[in-house]
Amino acid sequence: MLFQKFRESIAKKRMVSEISKEKRNVQISHLEEAKTVLVLFNADKTSDYEAISGLTRLLEQGKSKVTSIGYTSGKTVPEVYQMRTSSSVFIQKDLNFFFQPPVDQREFVHSRKFDLVINLDLSSSFPLYYLATVSRANFKIGCGNEQNSCYDLMLDVKQDASVAFFIEQTKNYLNLLKNAS
């Protein structure tokens, strides 16, 4: 346990040094305007599958090119996510020594400039937070607290800690920002 915390601490410091070299142009991207969207999700709870699928369908109907990447702390990818060809899910054994996602996932996320990144992981697992952080996206949304400072819009979902509620709040706040601008 102590060794794991030490590894996580080193991983966070390495991540901060990687992103400190990057400059990002923050621009609010609305659901209807975003051409490229990265959706990050925790695949541990298969009960969230419908809400995540609904969001990706909504985005695809709006002509967005959606990439979905999930992470599960289990030993295998849940069956419901194996059927989705548009989603990529990695497991705990795919992580490196510093709990970073597989190299191909890291390079893919870092090399693409997404209009919008939505991290639907309410448990703030490090591998998904890492991907959100190294992304050069114009606008990043996530479930926030003081530690998670990579997001441009942080939503607090203490009153209802469900992915479906988080998605509804994301839609509401993006609409508010759209109307305000």
Domain harbouring 166, CATH code:
3.40.50
Number of domains composing the chain? 1
Pairing of strands 36-42, 65-72: parallel
Output the tens digit of pLDDT for each of the chain's 181 residues: 667 777 777 777 777 666 655 677 788 877 888 899 999 999 998 889 889 999 998 988 888 899 999 999 989 888 877 776 678 999 999 999 888 899 999 899 988 999 999 999 988 888 999 999 889 999 999 987 666 578 888 888 777 788 999 999 999 888 888 777 6
Residue partners of 5: CB distance under 8 A and separation at least 6? none
Full residue range of the structural domain in which residue 31 is found: 2-180
Residue-level pLDDT at 21: 55
Q: Which two tokens stand for residue 100?
A: 């970073």
Note whether 48 and 42 are within 8 A (CB): yes
pTM comes to 0.89
Q: Which two tokens stand for residue 18?
A: 């990687």
Residue-level pLDDT at 141: 93
- Give the CA angle between residues 101, 104, 109 to the nearest 5°: 80
